[in-house]
Amino acid sequence: MLTNLDISKAMTIKLDDDLLETPEFVKGIRRAPKRELVLNQEEIGLALKNALRYIPEKWHEKLASEFLDELLSGGRIYGYRFRPKGKIYGKPVSEYKGNCLAGKAMQVMIDNNLDFDVALYPYELTTYGETGQVCQNWMQYRLIKKCLEVLTENQTLVVSSGHPLGLFESSTDAPRVILTNGLLVGEYDNQKDWHKAISLGVTNYGQMTAGGWMYIGPQGIVHGTYNTLLNAGRLKFNIPDEGDLGGYLFVSSGLGGMSGAQGKSIEIANGVGLIAEVDYSRIQTRFNQGWIKKVVKSPADAFKLAKEYTDKRKNISIGFCGNIIDLLEYAVNKNIKIDLLSDQTSCHVPYGGGYCPQGLTFKERTELLKTDKEKFIKLVNQSLAHHFGLIKMLVGRGTYFFDYGNSFLKAIYDAGVKEICKNGENPNDGFIFPSYVEDIMGPLLFDYGYGPFRWVCLSAKHQDLLKTDKAAMECIDPNRRFQDKDNYIWIKNADRNKLVVGTQARILYQDAAGRIKIALKFNEMVRNKEVGPIMLGRDHHDSGGTDSPFRETANIRDGSNVTADMATQCFAGNIARGMTMVTLHNGGGVGIGKAINGGFGLVLDGSEKVDIIIKKAISWDVLGGVARRSWARNKHAVETAIKHNKENKSGDHITIPYLVSEDLLERAISRRG
């Protein structure tokens, strides 16, 4: 008969036999609200059984009731007892145990994602975006770390939704880690089945870089937000390429994990930002970091201060302590001009706590979520409908509103407002307001291959970061395109803008050629021992890594925006070309079933082998996306593909679409009557 003793003896990588004390929760660290628990009695038993399979038998009795308490009170089993005591943070790579650099480097990245200063709900392993987790529970965290400590250059660690399936023999040319999160079979790729699976402890919401272990704090989105705001201004207010947002007002909401970047970005673009946030602790975090400069408590004070600065054409970021709807109501009633307007509440999970209804404090929102979910949903829907009405009025007065990738427009539709749809019925033909990708990011950046390239100096030395900043700047020709000029200015001022939260990391939008040039330069610097090893990666929110019809692929209009071939091919191609870590997720910033997204990590160890991976894999990672965008007839992508074919006669060759005349189509169709 199969016994737990036999099972334990069959494993060398397993949790320790000693039971740890439950660590104290540090006061003042944000805690996740109760998650939706949809399990019946029998399924609750299954969830317990699933969690206990990580635990030696002698502790089952004790932990069964502890885990049951966690499940009933928090909606999930996090296994708090297994969280290591004290502060977790990305230490210098040399301080980690491991048989290979990659194994140690991954540990830096994971720990950085769980740093009290970086993560949204660190005890619940949630890095950002309300629900984006590194893995499901602390048992998995410990096991993953154990695997990484013994991983060799001939093995690959496979992680399925946070669960380390094991180390499997591969080769030195294969990735060291392949991980996926939240992938569901089509029929079950819906909210109901998703909630059940996650409550059972068999899947994980990785968002993008949370579950992809590549989060670098809110800096990760600052450059993209800066690009978006600046280009929105250029597009709508005829600001010249060399101009900035001096004198313009941007209003939005959210100072959380990603949304926290808004204040910093608008300041860098020299505009005035007014950001509403209902959770005072998050305002405090951003204020302490210097990412917002003033905190105000009333809409009147907020707009008064904003006007002072727009009049002077000086920049400032202001945190408004309250609900975005209160702020917009005031602007509508007092006829205040808002130039740029967006929203970054966690609308990919509006009913899970991501969107705070008007009239509730943050504390009341958390309480109501726990006690009366039905009422909470009703209030969210009412608020979203009202929020829409206010935006419509402001847009009528000349405000440019754009959806900022948080599924806001879809949430309004789900709240029952059909008017938000172009066809007045359903989102099949899109929404009446643009998403930032449709108007800005897509045509001006992604279609060329410009995307959120990033790196982490694994030595944890600020000096290394400064050297890489300088080297990256020297790789950019600011006169090539206006995007290069923006990127050049960005990296030139990056240190001065104090962007680092957590590890010594940097984000820098680049196209394929730029990314390759910089990566090769960095690898050479590692080889010459000018800097320690570097982890390269990117946000999944990129040219080729993500299929998401409401966001990254919102400007794909040949009907293929509903397919997920590109992200999947990107993932597979990166594995084939030997990236160190390759990831693929369901959901991301817009919610389960609405996106497939993937990313990578590449450890620069200075070797020539890594030079080859840089040339082949980074090129594929970006140009696969450009090729698909080109095939969808996106003008800048077609131009980029033509240029690439001309310059790469012996390597890549992209197929390019013939263009069809609209007149011809009209004639052909009208001939048929």
Ligand X SMILES: NC(=O)c1ccc[n+]([C@@H]2O[C@H](COP(=O)([O-])OP(=O)(O)OC[C@H]3O[C@@H](n4cnc5c(N)ncnc54)[C@H](O)[C@@H]3O)[C@@H](O)[C@H]2O)c1
Helical axes 635-647 vs 619-631, angle rounded to 10°: 130
CA 263 to chain centre: 17
Q: Of all residues in this chain, which one has the CB nearest to ligand X in the complex? A: 256
Joined together, the tokens standing for residue 521 give 């330069």
Closer residue to ligand X (CB): 156 or 227: 227
Of 199, 259, 523, 580, the one binding ligand X by CB under 6 A: 259
Q: Residue 365 Cβ, how far from ligand X at the closest point, in Å? A: 8
* Rounded-to-integer distance, Cα 404 and Cα 342, Å: 6
Size of the site for ligand X (CB under 6 A): 33
* Rounded-to-integer distance, Cα 380 and Cα 354, Å: 10
Task: Give yes or no for a contact between 453 and 518, defined as CB atoms under 8 angstroms apart.
Answer: yes
Residue type, 216: I
Q: Residue 258 Cβ, how far from ligand X at the closest point, in Å? A: 3
* Rounded-to-integer distance, Cα 636 and Cα 449, Å: 10
Assess 215 for contact with ligand X (CB under 6 A): no
Q: Residue 232 Cβ, how far from ligand X at the closest point, in Å? A: 13
Which whole-number Å values give the CA distances from 430 to 215, 230, 422, in the listed order? Answer: 30, 24, 6
Closer residue to ligand X (CB): 29 or 660: 29
Closer residue to ligand X (CB): 345 or 580: 345
Closer residue to ligand X (CB): 593 or 657: 593
Bridge partners, 168 (sequence order): 156
- Taking the CB of residue 386, how many other CB atoms lie within 10 A of it? 17
Of 103, 257, 352, 434, the one binding ligand X by CB under 6 A: 257
Q: Residue 525 Cβ, how far from ligand X at the closest point, in Å? A: 29
Rg of the chain (C-alpha set):
24
Please report the DSSP string for 195-260 in residue order: HHHHHHTS----TTTTTTT--BTBHHHHHHHHHHHHHHHHHHH---TT---TT-EEEEE--STTTT
Bridge partners, 596 (sequence order): 547, 586
Q: Residue 319 Cβ, how far from ligand X at the closest point, in Å? A: 10
Assess 404 for contact with ligand X (CB under 6 A): yes
Of 194, 355, 509, 620, the one binding ligand X by CB under 6 A: 355
* Rounded-to-integer distance, Cα 203 and Cα 135, Å: 9
Closer residue to ligand X (CB): 67 or 121: 121
SS3 335: coil
Assess 348 for contact with ligand X (CB under 6 A): yes
DSSP run (H or E) holding 417 = none
Q: Residue 466 Cβ, how far from ligand X at the closest point, in Å? A: 27
Of 344, 399, 569, 583, the one binding ligand X by CB under 6 A: 344
Assess 434 for contact with ligand X (CB under 6 A): no
Specify the residue for token string 């000086």.
314
> Taking the C-alpha atoms of 276, 278, 281 and 285 in order, what is their torsion angle to the nearest 10 degrees?
-20
Alpha helices (H) in 608-655, listed in sequence order: 608-613, 619-631, 635-647
Closer residue to ligand X (CB): 139 or 268: 268
Q: Per-residue x/- mask for ligand X, residues 181 to 210, rule CB under 6 A? A: ------------------------------
Q: Residue 155 Cβ, how far from ligand X at the closest point, in Å? A: 32
SS3 156: strand
- Taking the CB of residue 74, how many other CB atoms lie within 10 A of it? 19
Q: Per-residue x/- mask for ligand X, residues 2 to 31, rule CB under 6 A? A: ------------------------------
Of 33, 247, 256, 532, the one binding ligand X by CB under 6 A: 256
Q: Residue 641 Cβ, how far from ligand X at the closest point, in Å? A: 25
Q: In what order do the strands lie in the sheet with 340-341?
A: 294-296, 316-321, 272-277, 249-253, 340-341, 400-401
Please report the DSSP string for 41-106 in residue order: HHHHHHHHHHHHTTS-GGGHHHHHHHHHHHHHHHSS---GGGSPSS------GGGS--SSHHHHHH
Q: Which of residues 265-324 bind ligand X (CB under 6 A)?
A: 276-279, 282, 323-324
Assess 128 for contact with ligand X (CB under 6 A): yes
Closer residue to ligand X (CB): 356 or 409: 356
Bridge partners, 218 (sequence order): 216
Q: Identify which range of 248-256, 264-272, 459-467, 649-657 contacts ligand X by CB under 6 A.
A: 248-256
Of 56, 589, 599, 606, the one binding ligand X by CB under 6 A: 589
Q: Residue 634 Cβ, how far from ligand X at the closest point, in Å? A: 19
Q: Residue 346 Cβ, how far from ligand X at the closest point, in Å? A: 4
Q: Identify which range of 25-33, 107-115, 150-158, 402-410 contacts ligand X by CB under 6 A.
A: 402-410
* Rounded-to-integer distance, Cα 35 and Cα 391, Å: 30
Q: Identify which range of 329-337, 351-359, 388-396, 652-660 contacts ligand X by CB under 6 A.
A: 351-359
Q: Which of residues 535-574 bind ligand X (CB under 6 A)?
A: 541
Q: Residue 256 Cβ, how far from ligand X at the closest point, in Å? A: 2
Q: Residue 325 Cβ, how far from ligand X at the closest point, in Å? A: 6
Of 140, 155, 345, 553, the one binding ligand X by CB under 6 A: 345
Q: Residue 311 Cβ, how far from ligand X at the closest point, in Å? A: 26
Closer residue to ligand X (CB): 175 or 589: 589
Q: Identify which range of 17-25, 95-103, 255-263, 390-398 contacts ligand X by CB under 6 A.
A: 255-263
Specify the pairing of strand 505-510 against strand 546-547: unpaired
Backbone angles phi, psi at 233, to 5 degrees: -65, -45
Assess 465 for contact with ligand X (CB under 6 A): no
Q: Identify which range of 285-293, 353-361, 481-489, 665-673 contacts ligand X by CB under 6 A.
A: 353-361
* Rounded-to-integer distance, Cα 644 and Cα 494, Å: 30
Assess 214 for contact with ligand X (CB under 6 A): no
Task: Give yes or no for a contact between 411 and 347, defined as CB atoms under 8 angstroms apart.
Answer: yes
Closer residue to ligand X (CB): 56 or 254: 254
Q: Which of residues 87-126 bind ligand X (CB under 6 A)?
A: 120
Of 258, 331, 603, 641, the one binding ligand X by CB under 6 A: 258
Bridge partners, 602 (sequence order): 536
Largest CA distance in the chain: 80
Closer residue to ligand X (CB): 255 or 316: 255
Of 106, 157, 347, 617, the one binding ligand X by CB under 6 A: 347
Point out which residues bind ligand X (CB under 6 A). 120, 128-130, 221, 224, 253-259, 276-279, 282, 323-324, 344-348, 354-356, 404-406, 541, 589
